[in-house]
Amino acid sequence: MNLDDLARRVHATARLTGRFELRSGRVTDDYFDKYQFEADPVLLDALAGELAALVPADTEVLAGLEMGGIAVVTALGRHTGLPCAFVRKAAKPYGTARLAEGADVAGRRVLVVEDVVTSGGQVAVSTRRLRELGARIDAALCVIDRQEGGAEALAAEEIGLRALLRRADLERAAGGAGS
């Protein structure tokens, strides 16, 4: 399956229309329901196979963000052989009380992995927290960049965004559908 085929499948599987409020508080009339492509093991595996080529060569740990980034990072880890960390929005107050579970991030080159990036807000927040734990981060990877300012906001935080698919790719693959 080539990238255009993947874009068509993601668009057909995950694009919803209606009225949706995003994490950033913005309201949109189209939405990419990432859980639809993450719940399809064949599609998720194909996406992870393509994402693997975008992982920087010096990456030591893949860090998936709660909740959608967890499925993506697990599938990506299968393709790269890299260990994974699972990053919570906030450290849990019980058990290990960790922000990041799984692979240790301290002193290691970490790639933050997210499913969909809109404003880049959660990637920026999580990256700051991981850096406080000693992670060395200069890049993030996502399946879909909605092209709504996330890459620019992350660049201001010294995080380069690598995206497998951009909103324009999905619209082009679907024959221009979408807003």
Which residues contribute to the annotated binding site for orotate? Answer: 118, 146
Residue stretches of the annotated binding site: 23, 88-89, 92, 114-122, 146
Residue stretches of the annotated binding site for 5-phospho-alpha-D-ribose 1-diphosphate: 23, 88-89, 92, 114-122
State whether residue 70 is helix, strand or coil. helix
Preceding peptide of 67 cis, ω within 30°? yes
Chain centre to alpha carbon of residue 23: 14
Residue positions counted in the chain? 179
Nearest to 118 by CA among 17, 32, 10, 1: 32
State whether residue 19 is helix, strand or coil. strand
For residue 12 the two structure tokens come to 């057909």
Nearest to 145 by CA among 60, 32, 19: 32
